[in-house]
Chain A
Amino acid sequence: MSNALFQYTLRLGDSSLILAQRLSEWTGHGPFLEEDLALTNIALDTLGTAKSFLEYAAQVEGKGRTDDDLAFFRNEREFFNPLITEQPNGDYAKTMVRQVIMDVYHLYLYKELAKSKDTTLSGIAQKAIKEVTYHVRHSASWLERFGNGTDESHQRAQDALNELWQYTQELFETPGSEKELLAQGVAVNLQDIQAKWETHVDELIRKANLKKPENVFMQRGSLDGIHTEHLGYLLAEMQHLPRMHPTAKW
């Protein structure tokens, strides 16, 4: 049980951590000042959620590791974030399409997780719902603007959808280790939220006048810690300082 709960919480934490790390790359480089501030806010929310999950994961594991140990001292094959979260930012359309996919996912995920029998997980989810509701509004409004803005923005948004769609299926995969947690009412049934996610995202794509990609071969692997090449570089950058000074406190 506790190992399954550790793995489950770890994956939730990794997912937010890696996404936040990507979002934070935009800070100071946004398309205009107000948007720079908004995206940094979203990065901050996401990082805060990651920290809460990782703190809890460390506590559940009970081996004396901290949230920082989990973030900075695990290798690439020990991370379980969905592949989409580690994809490079690309242009602003790609970042916003990635956000639409993840924001809507998080919205339904956290709404269900808020009902979890595990009170810590439900507490983290309840706090995150308020933030993610705003995130959805933000990314969905950009998708609508891009899709209906200029020819260029429409094309960029469509390209981003086409590129990222291959990473959407694995968001709803459930590892065998979660079955027990599901039965106990701790974990979320991802099949249930997939339908809600699809309806919501289909509607956003329609409002943006974009085409939903079809017949896409879906990538997978993150449940087994098998990632795209991008994660290694992200971790090298994120982890190098604590690893150079493993006994240091910051």
Chain B
Amino acid sequence: MNDRDSMKPGDLLLPVKSFCRLSGQIIAPLSFEIHAFSVKFAYSLTRSAYMEQNINFEDIFESKLAKNDFIEPKDWMPDNYRKHLIRQISQHAHSEIVGMLPEGNWITRAPSLRSKIVLLAKVQDEGGHGLYLYTAAETLGVSRDELLDALHTGKAKYSSIFNYPTLTWADVGAIGWLVDGAAIMNQVMLQRSSYGPYSRAMVRICKEESFHQRQGYEIMTHLAFGTPEQKQMAQDALNRWWYPTMMMFGPPDKDSPNSENAIKWRIKRETNDQLRQRFVNQTVPQAEYLGLTVPDEKLTWNEAKQGYDFSEPDWVEFKNVINGNGPCNKQRLKARNDAHKNGAWVREAAAAYAKKKGESTAVAA
């Protein structure tokens, strides 16, 4: 059992407990001290007080990583680890919220009652994922308002895939099949991420994402085995979404500035190129089953590596989309900003009402 499992929220002895196991020499005096004082007092010991006793927080942190223990919100962590996580989790949260837009674009036009219900539920799930992830990011000491502000002002990034337009109903299928399929590759890995709240959010998210991928593949199946026009719609969607989906794993390992630390800290556990390869290996047979053609003339099975050789996406386009020049960047950001601005009076009314209600309750009491 992971020693995290035996801890309750707010259990403040945790950092010290882990340290004691790590370093045999000073275990006795330290544990004596800890047990001699109340838990509250132990927590109130400042970092510098610990430092005077030769406690090396970095060693504690590293030893947890080495033991596959989770890092929890109250644990000490290097500033860069915290920054990296805030950036990654909030980007992930923003991606879920912005990701509601391209698919939401088809809710009112879904071609059957069942597909409308399923799509509504799916887009709602994405919003729910955004909510867990904002909450996970908040455990790192940043507020949702700050994160949203960064999104609305264009400072924060989100998955570049959502800057591509959903032009036909087949695009809704392609997003579920390809985009959610690629997201699952990432997210399954992130279930084992070193940061506890992120890892736990991912466990829940992954369950729903695998349902989404099946939903997408079901739409593609109906289209690919439907009328000639439907099949053409499906092929067109695959043509347009294939390379943007490949970009979702990020730049090639040799050009990925954040990957090294992410792997070292076990925030990520596989490289961009490894995940991309896995995605291609998994997706090509699915396309073949549908009778659709992956738009890559270089795609061939490589017996030696037991995987496909394939063409790289256009990394110049990738950089441009990330930097705000994709087909829908401005539109997506505007939609988020409009919703936030149009909702301002609603949030103000709720706050004003809660305040009045609180005051009247206080008076009554």
Which residues of A line the B interface, CB within 8 A? 17, 21, 24-25, 27-37, 40-41, 43-44, 47-48, 50-51, 54, 67-68, 71-72, 91-92, 144-146, 148-150, 152-153, 156, 237-238, 240-242, 245, 247-250
Task: Evaluate contact between B111 and A72: CB separation under 8 angstroms.
Answer: yes
Q: Which residue of A lies closest to B93 (CB)?
A: A33
| Chain A binder among B186-194, B252-260, B347-355 | B347-355
Across the interface, B109 reaches (CB within 8 A) one of A35, A144, A150, A240, namely A240
Chain B hits for A247, CB < 8 A = 227
Which residues of the partner chain B approach A24 to less than 8 Å between Cβ atoms? 107-108, 116, 120
B131 touches A33 (CB 8 A): yes
Contact A27 B124, CB 8 Å, known A149-B350, A150-B348:
yes
Contact B131 A29 (CB under 8 A): no
Task: Name A's interface SS.
Answer: helix
**A248 and B227 in contact, given A29-B338, A92-B343, A153-B349 (Cβ under 8 angstroms):** yes
By a CB distance below 8 angstroms, the chain B residues around A240 are: 109
The answer to whether A153 touches B345 (Cβ under 8 A) is yes
| Residue of B113, B117, B229, B230 contacting most chain A CB atoms (<10 Å) | B113
Contact assessment for A153 and B348 in the assembled complex, using a CB-CB cutoff below 8 Å: yes
Interface string of B119-154 (1 = CB under 8 A from A): 011011001101100100000000000000000000
Whether, in the assembled complex, B302 has its beta carbon less than 8 Å from a beta carbon of chain A, the answer is no
Let me know if A245 and B127 touch, CB within 8 A.
no
The answer to whether A91 and B109 have CB atoms under 8 Å apart is no
- Contact indicator B356/A250 (Cβ below 8 Å): no
Enumerate 20 A-B pairs (CB-CB under 8 Å) in ascending A order. Answer: A27-B127, A30-B339, A30-B343, A31-B342, A31-B344, A31-B347, A32-B346, A33-B130, A36-B127, A37-B127, A40-B127, A68-B114, A152-B348, A153-B349, A153-B352, A241-B111, A245-B227, A245-B230, A248-B111, A248-B226
Q: How far is the CA of A105 from the CA of B130 in the complex (A)?
A: 34
B169 interface residue (CB < 8 Å to A): yes
Once the chains are docked, how many angstroms separate the CA of A31 from the CA of B342?
Answer: 7
- Contacting pair A28 B120 (CB below 8 A): no
In B56-105, which residues have CB < 8 Å from any A CB? Answer: 97, 100-101, 104
Q: Which residues of B contact A91 (CB under 8 A)?
A: 342
